[in-house]
């Protein structure tokens, strides 16, 4: 029996506000050494990042992994596109879904799982403005209910 150890490095909290998340996939990432070292010290940001499928391969764009401060030469480009490792049947399923209107691939979180860097990739549909207002209203009502129950 193996126990999984997860250490979450970063989470895209705005994704749950801006998108309806239908399905999530776990993907490995192809990284260079200085990127892994930067991830270990927490220099990663998922803001405005997205994934695209090109030639049957999935790449994540606009994911910022800061430069490793102790590498003087051979440091990586912080915004370079990074390849994601998924099973072939998952990629084919994603290709079919992404071609439908309104679906996109959004990185939700980056974490270490048993020493390997993984990314949780969400198949998501964009929310309209009224959907966002409704979710804010529901969250506020829930918070008010919890407060009133706590006070009594």
CATH number, residue 66 = 2.40.280.10
Report the candidate in 109, 110, 114 with the shortest Cα–Cα distance to residue 4.
Answer: 114
> Would you say residue 84 lies in a domain?
yes
Residue 64 falls inside a structural domain = yes
> How far, in whole angstroms, is CA 74 from its chain's centroid?
27
One-character DSSP codes across 11-48: E-HHHHHHEEEEEEEEEEE---HHHHHHHHTT-EE-TT
- For residue 82, is it within any domain? yes
Whether residue 2 has pLDDT greater than 70: no
**Which residue, among 89, 83, 90, has the nearest Cα to 51 in the 3D structure?**
83
Write down the mean pLDDT value for the chain: 85
Structural domain for 83, as ranges: 6-127
The verdict on residue 42 lying in a domain is yes
Of 2, 115, 95, 87, nearest in space to 51 by CA: 95
On whether residue 141 sits in a domain, the answer given is no
Predicted TM-score (pTM) of the model is 0.77
Residue-wise pLDDT for 79-132, tens only, equals: 889 999 999 998 888 888 888 777 888 999 999 888 888 999 998 888 787 777
Residue 138 lies in a domain: no
Q: How many domains does the chain have?
A: 1
Q: Is 140 inside any structural domain?
A: no
For residue 59, is pLDDT > 90? yes
Within-domain flag for 139: no
Percentage with pLDDT > 70 across the chain: 97
Over residues 19-54, the pLDDT tens digits come to: 888 888 999 999 888 888 888 888 888 888 889 999
Q: Are 76 and 63 in contact (CB under 8 A)?
A: no
What is the pLDDT at residue 3? 64
Q: What's residue 60's pLDDT?
A: 92
Res. 150: pLDDT tops 60? yes
Q: What's residue 36's pLDDT?
A: 87
């Amino acid at each position: 029996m193996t126990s999984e150890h997860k250490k979450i490095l970063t989470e895209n909290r705005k994704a749950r506000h801006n998108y309806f998340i239908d399905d999530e996939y776990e993907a490995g990432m192809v990284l260079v050494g200085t990127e892994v070292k930067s991830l270990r010290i927490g220099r990663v940001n998922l803001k405005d990042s997205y994934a695209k499928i090109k030639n049957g391969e999935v790449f994540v764009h606009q994911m910022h992994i800061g430069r490793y401060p102790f590498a003087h030469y051979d440091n990586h480009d912080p915004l370079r596109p990074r390849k994601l490792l998924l099973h072939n049947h998952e990629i084919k399923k994603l290709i079919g879904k992404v071609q439908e209107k309104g679906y996109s691939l959004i990185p939700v979180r980056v974490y270490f799982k048993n020493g390997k860097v993984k990314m949780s990739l969400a198949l998501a549909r964009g929310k309209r403005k009224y959907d966002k207002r409704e979710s804010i209203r529901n969250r506020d009502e829930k918070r008010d209910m919890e407060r009133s129950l706590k006070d009594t």
